[in-house]
Chains A and B, each alone.
Chain A
């Protein structure tokens, strides 16, 4: 069974600082990878996803993530955060060609960006 680890549970940054949130998964086969964001009081929204191809994936709002297969990692990055990036971020994984019901979420990272 897959599992997903997000090592940083809480991150506090000042505006304009760079962001990197870690995500590691355990699964020996081919995977699909996702980052979702949940702004305060709102539903989860997809930031970016990786299915195949270029391991550097660009998403909305200036976010990107790099899939490093040898490290089983899919870290989320943003060069310069804004106050509006304050949210909870979830990494999720499912095995390739399985349904979304097989998606496994990490426990989330709460990001607080101070103005």
Chain B
């Protein structure tokens, strides 16, 4: 049981380059999330998808786009990377129902934009 799988684990981009972070879960969860983690700031929600076919902005959506490709997969795209997007990115998913439940996290993608 793989849980939540993210790729890649590490990436270095030049300013202005684009890339897509991939996330897949095998727990049949409806809801999926993308967070960024920065020192001293905890985790901040970028985008989430409450169910297949829907996406919504979180706390820090600027500079990102997402796609909920199917129930399993939720990707995060940086169209034109900026140094401020240097961070560790975590994907998560939560069980059907959403409320009063817990989320499961992937192992993270460490992104550096130079």
> A residues touching B (Cβ–Cβ < 8 Å)?
4, 9, 32, 34, 36, 42-46, 49, 51, 90, 96-101, 103, 105-108
Complex contacts, A44 vs chain B, CB 8 Å:
43, 90, 92, 105
Complex contacts, B43 vs chain A, CB 8 Å:
44, 90, 105
Complex contacts, B58 vs chain A, CB 8 Å:
101
| Chain B CB within 10 Å, residue with most, of A4, A36, A43, A108 | A43
Complex contacts, A100 vs chain B, CB 8 Å:
31, 33, 48, 92, 94, 98-99, 101-103
Number of A-B contacts (CB under 8 A): 62
| B1-58 interface with A by 8 A CB criterion | 4, 31, 33, 40-45, 48, 50, 56, 58
> B residues touching A (Cβ–Cβ < 8 Å)?
4, 31, 33, 40-45, 48, 50, 56, 58, 90, 92, 94, 98-103, 105-108
Known A43-B105, A45-B105: A97·B100 in contact at CB below 8 Å: yes
Q: Give Cα distance in the complex from A100 to B43, angstroms.
A: 13
Known A44-B105, A45-B105, A97-B99: A107·B94 in contact at CB below 8 Å: no
Closest to B50 in A: A99
